[in-house]
Amino acid sequence: MKNKLAAVIAKIEDQKEDLISLCQDLVRIPSLSGEEREVAQAVAQKMNDLSYSEVSTDELGSVLGTLEGREGASLLFNGHMDHVPAGSLENWSVDPFGAVIKNECIYGRGSVDMKGAIAAQVFAVGMLSQLGITPPGDVYVAAVVHEEDHEGSAMEHIIEQRGVRPDVVVLGEATALHLAIGQRGRCELEVVTKGRTSHGSRPDLGVNAVYHMAKFAVAIEQLNNLCMPQHEFLGRASVALIRISCSPEKGNVVPDECQIVLDRRTIPNEHEEDLIEEINQILMKAKEEVPNLDARVHIIEENLHCYTGKKLAAHKYYPAWAMDPSHPLIQKTKETLKAVMNSEVKIGKWDFSTDGVYTAGTAEILTIGYGPGDETQAHRPDEHLPIEQLVAAAKGYAALALSLNSS
């Protein structure tokens, strides 16, 4: 294995300009959630150019490349092709889709989150193929859609509908080349208060749904400050009010409905019914101050539109997950990466959510995270990825492909 790994690392180093160009090409293609068609075509074309055993695109639009191995355990590298909007261009010093190289970094929306990792994964597995190296078990590279607005759904489709169930999943979300082994979960809850309309000049004749919501919102803030449960590794659960609206929205009318959306970050063993009950308890206390309060809570469900035309039902609950740091997979991964990087590999967690909510949180597949870039760059202006980390990640992925699925 050492000779094979040395050969592929040497090839990655020799062809790193091609890797850099691939990352730039992907960053230059805007690919908001539901608009990933062009970047999916670019990823599939590169996999074919690098002689993957099989390349396919599913009905949701995710691309799956396969390098056939021997009889060992199978390994899947995961990355998402969609990104968030660039935001105001005034906050960028460069074109968000220019993939400009500055200060030895590739700048652009999605460079860290997470086209750099996709480029490194596609390239690393492609170098194995180019060298004629057969890995111990099948290796997959999944470039998926709709992670930003419904993480886990595309991976669920690959595993449940396409029948690809790997033994190990490596998420390429940014870790600065360290090892992530868990994350808090999340849930989007909508709370609706009801009232009665009246003319704005006669508020006494109406019931203002916004005022009723205000009582509840104060209680939510107190909940976040005082009562949230704690996990020894993942940290504290939290809740944030992230959106508010009311209706009617126009005219001088007292609103008869107000809606808020809560972002509730969860820890293991917090289930959907627990989160609903938590909010209902707060609503019951609010009714002590407002006896005629009419309020309800539910977990948000919506239909997302894939670029293929397929509709994707989104139930906005995503479970937390965490690997045991003493698990043999973690120890083997640390040893493998340390040998490639010539430095210690720290174990940590993500603050945000990933496709691991399905692979680890629901399907209970062994899941770890390793990717280039600083996670704090995600979703920010002037997002940028150090080229040194891009190349190092490709070498790390090649090493994992040759070791994690071997006996």
Please report the DSSP string for 128-143 in residue order. HHHTTPPPSS-EEEEE
Query: Given this model, what pLDDT does residue 218 score?
Result: 85
pLDDT tens digits along 112-122: 999 999 999 99
Same CATH fold, 186-303 and 2-183+320-403? no
pTM for the model stands at 0.94
Residues in the chain with pLDDT < 70?
Answer: 1, 406-407
> CA separation (Å) from 353 to 12, 78, 142, 295?
30, 14, 18, 29
pLDDT tens digits along 193-228: 999 999 999 999 999 999 999 888 888 888 877 778
Query: Given this model, what pLDDT does residue 17 score?
Result: 98
Whole-number Å distance between alpha carbons of 38 and 307: 10
Whole-number Å distance between alpha carbons of 193 and 70: 59
Name the superfamily (CATH) of residues 2-183+320-403.
Zn peptidases (3.40.630.10)
Query: Given this model, what pLDDT does residue 217 score?
Result: 87
The residue behind tokens 């007292």 is 254
Neighbours of 204 (CB within 10 A): 7
AA identity, residue 35: E
> CA separation (Å) from 378 to 86, 351, 374?
11, 11, 8
Whole-number Å distance between alpha carbons of 20 and 52: 20
Is residue 147 within 8 Å of residue 62, measured between CB atoms? Answer: no
Is residue 106 within 8 Å of residue 116, measured between CB atoms? Answer: yes
Query: Given this model, what pLDDT does residue 111 score?
Result: 98
Whole-number Å distance between alpha carbons of 375 and 315: 26
Instruction: Give CATH for domain 186-303.
Output: 3.30.70.360
Enter the DSSP assignment of 250.
Answer: S
Query: Given this model, what pLDDT does residue 154 score?
Result: 96
Query: Given this model, what pLDDT does residue 121 score?
Result: 98
Query: Given this model, what pLDDT does residue 406 score?
Result: 64
Query: Given this model, what pLDDT does residue 407 score?
Result: 54
Domain spans of the chain, in order of start: 2-183+320-403, 186-303
Please report the DSSP string for 264-278 in residue order. EEE-TT--HHHHHHH
